């Protein structure tokens, strides 16, 4: 059967598709996204396939683009389908690289069949969070420690203390689930690591080995680096470019929140939000079109310049047509939001982004890529309607 469209989902920083073999314990980057897209394609009668692809976790943008070439090559030549790239965060930059005239000499022939590029929460002008992480090698040091911790935790040699600690954590997770406490990222990680198969263990060690060896991506995402990237990465003629912009409410503390298990994750979000410095002078934002500015104002308010999704300033995310603006944190739009058990929030931002907003956003992406519908940016009324539908 010939498929008229292929949609490639390109992940951001860390670049994995999923970790773990068991479906109930698997950590997926695109949480429930492929399932939703395939369901929507079927409902609309659209002949399309979805492919979530991997890339080098923390390698530089050039290396990641070549990874995308290699991953697309596994399926792109099976038919003459029109191709579409949807990149989240750094994955949006990878998508732009793949189709850019700069990469034309290296690009396989199938790249000529790419019809659209959608970037979601992508730091097109960089993020000051990368500059902070690059100062004194803070980010690189943390990533190397992460690799060391992972190696010591997962190494195949039996370590009684490690095994006992993992089993104790696993027991706590089971008790919390029996008490019907909301699941969180800690639960997911413990479930994944408490009972690893040999294949899972080797896969995780290999993945974090790449993280420990190469952290160039931190430097590449600094605003000053992105200015050079944009100067050398022109849009390709004949390809439509659209973006989804995210912005979360500024972190707010309350006594009830302080007394919940979410306090630590909300504290992490508050720290990241501050370091993303949405009004930093580092950011040099090119002039927007009136339509782009209006789209941001309609959802994020007139002071949208001060908004961030916790990782990337909202005003840094604009590239091409603004397809959708979401009140959401950086990971909400990938399906990591508070609506258990299908979805588990990683950042605890208090954005109140849930299933209706998730579906509305991805419907916009479908309209622009394979749906053939005219795309109009959503205003406040549409966001309110999505909320009331939930």
pLDDT tens digits, one per residue of 161-170: 444 444 454 4
Q: What is the mean pLDDT of residues 54-68?
A: 84
Same domain, 83 and 106: yes
Asked whether residue 159 falls in the same domain as residue 261, the answer is no
Residue with token string 């995780």: 204
Tell me which of 189, 213, 237 is where a domain ends. Answer: 213
Instruction: Return all residues near 105 (Cβ < 8 A) that are at least 6 apart.
Output: none
pTM value is 0.78
Per-residue pLDDT band for 151 (boundaries 50, 70, 90) equals very low
Residue 262 has pLDDT above 80, yes or no: no
pLDDT > 50? residue 31: yes
Tell me, yes or no, whether 230 and 336 share the same domain.
yes
Output DSSP code: residue 316. Answer: G
Question: Do 124 and 57 reside in the same domain of the chain?
Answer: yes
62's CB contacts (< 8 A; 6+ apart) are 97
The Cα 360–Cα 363 span in angstroms is 5
For 132, the token pair is: 């902070």
pLDDT for res 388: 43
Residue-level pLDDT at 282: 94
Predicted pLDDT at 105: 87
Provide CB contacts within 8 A for 322, sequence distance 6+: 242, 243, 245, 291, 292, 295, 296, 377
Top-ranked range on mean pLDDT: pick from 87-91, 156-160, 266-270: 87-91
What 8-state DSSP symbol labels residue 169?
A: H
Q: CA-CA distances (angstroms) from residue 93 to 69, 87, 231, 234?
A: 14, 7, 13, 11
The pLDDT, as a whole number, for residue 291 is 96
| pLDDT tens digits along 88-140 | 999 999 999 999 999 988 899 999 999 999 999 999 999 998 888 777 655 45
Number of domains the chain contains: 2
> If pLDDT is split at 50, 70 and 90, which confidence band does 233 have?
very high
Q: Which of 156, 183, 213 is the last residue of a domain?
A: 213
The confidence score (pLDDT) of residue 335 equals: 86
Q: Quick check: 63 pLDDT over 70?
A: yes
Which tokens hold the place of 49? 């396939």
Domain limit, last residue, from 213, 241, 273: 213
User: Please, which pLDDT band fits residue 351 given cuts at 50, 70 and 90?
Assistant: confident
- Sheet containing 5-10: order of strands: 48-52, 5-10, 82-88, 114-120, 240-247, 321-327
Collapse the DSSP code of 146 into the 3-class scheme (helix H, G, I; strand E, B; otherwise coil) and give the result. Answer: helix
Residues 361 and 313 in one domain: yes
pLDDT at 354 over 60: yes
Which pLDDT score, from 0 to 100, does residue 284 have? Answer: 94
CA 321 vs CA 33, 67, 71, 343: distances in Å: 22, 27, 27, 29
* C-alpha torsion angle, residues 172, 177, 181, 184 (rounded to 10): 70
Spatial separation of the C-alpha atoms in residues 132 and 311, rounded to whole Å: 12
Between helix 380-389 and helix 355-366 the angle, nearest 10°, is 130
Shared-domain flag, residues 253 and 351 = yes
How large is the average pLDDT for residues 65-80? 92
Whether 262 and 367 map to the same domain: the answer is yes
Rounded to the nearest integer, the mean pLDDT of the chain is 78
**Mean pLDDT score, 366-389:** 56
Share of the chain above pLDDT 90, in %: 47
- Write down the pLDDT at residue 130: 87
Are the C-beta atoms of residues 350 and 326 closer than 8 Å to each other? no
- Tell me the CATH number at 293: 3.40.50.1820
Q: How many angstroms separate the CA atoms of 200 and 185, rounded?
A: 18
Assess whether pLDDT exceeds 90 at residue 174.
no
191 phi and psi angles, rounded to 5 deg: -60, -40
| 8 A C-beta contact, residue 56 and residue 17 | no
Same domain, 184 and 294: no
11 with 30: CB under 8 angstroms? yes
| Average pLDDT of the residues in 304-320 | 96
Residue 23 has pLDDT above 70, yes or no: no
Q: Which residue from 171, 182, 178 is spatially nearest to 342, judged by alpha carbons?
A: 182
Q: Are strands 48-52 and 114-120 parallel, antiparallel or unpaired?
A: unpaired
264 in the same domain as 226: yes
Do both 14 and 77 map to the same domain? yes
Same domain, 359 and 230: yes
**Does the pLDDT of residue 59 top 70, yes or no?**
yes
- What confidence score (pLDDT) does residue 196 get? 53
* Segment 277-308, tens digit of pLDDT: 999 999 999 999 999 999 999 999 999 999 99
Do residue 188 and residue 270 come from a single domain?
no
List the domain range (segments joined by +) for residue 208.
135-213
> Residue 197: which pLDDT band, with cuts at 50, 70 and 90?
low
């Amino acid at each position: 059967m010939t498929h008229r469209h292929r949609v490639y989902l390109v992940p951001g920083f860390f670049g994995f598709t999923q970790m773990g073999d068991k479906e109930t314990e698997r950590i997926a980057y695109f949480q429930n996204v492929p399932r939703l897209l395939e369901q929507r394609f079927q409902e609309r009668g659209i002949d399309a396939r979805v492919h979530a692809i991997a890339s080098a976790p923390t390698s530089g943008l050039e290396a990641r683009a070549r990874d995308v070439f290699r991953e697309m090559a596994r399926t792109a030549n099976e038919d003459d389908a029109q191709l579409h790239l949807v990149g989240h965060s750094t994955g949006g930059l990878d998508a732009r690289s793949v189709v850019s005239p700069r990469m034309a000499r290296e690009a396989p022939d199938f790249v000529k069949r790419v019809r659209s590029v959608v970037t979601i929460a992508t730091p097109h002008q960089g993020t000051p969070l990368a500059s902070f992480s690059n100062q004194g090698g803070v980010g690189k040091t943390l990533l190397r420690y992460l690799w060391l911790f992972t190696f010591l935790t997962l190494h195949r040699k039996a370590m009684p203390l490690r095994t006992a600690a993992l089993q104790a954590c696993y027991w706590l997770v089971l008790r919390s689930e029996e008490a019907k406490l909301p699941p969180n990222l800690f639960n997911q990680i413990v479930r994944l690591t408490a009972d690893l198969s040999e294949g899972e263990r080797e896969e995780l060690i290999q993945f974090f080995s790449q993280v420990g060896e190469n952290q160039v991506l931190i430097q590449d995402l600094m605003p000053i680096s992105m200015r050079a990237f944009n100067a050398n990465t022109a849009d390709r003629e004949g390809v439509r470019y659209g973006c989804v912009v995210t912005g979360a409410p500024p972190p707010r503390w309350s006594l009830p929140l302080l007394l919940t298990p979410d306090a630590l994750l909300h504290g992490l979000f508050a720290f990241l939000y501050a370091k993303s410095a949405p009004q930093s002078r580092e950011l040099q934002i090119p002039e927007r079109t009136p339509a782009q500015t209006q789209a941001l104002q309609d959802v994020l308010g007139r002071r949208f310049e001060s908004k961030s999704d916790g990782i990337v300033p909202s005003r840094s995310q604009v590239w091409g047509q603004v397809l959708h603006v979401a009140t959401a944190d950086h990971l909400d739009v990938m399906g990591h939001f508070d609506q258990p058990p299908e979805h588990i929030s990683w950042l605890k931002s208090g954005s109140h982004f849930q299933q209706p907003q998730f579906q509305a956003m991805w419907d916009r992406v479908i309209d622009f890529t394979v749906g053939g519908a005219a795309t109009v940016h959503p205003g406040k009324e549409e966001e309110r309607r999505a909320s009331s539908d939930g």
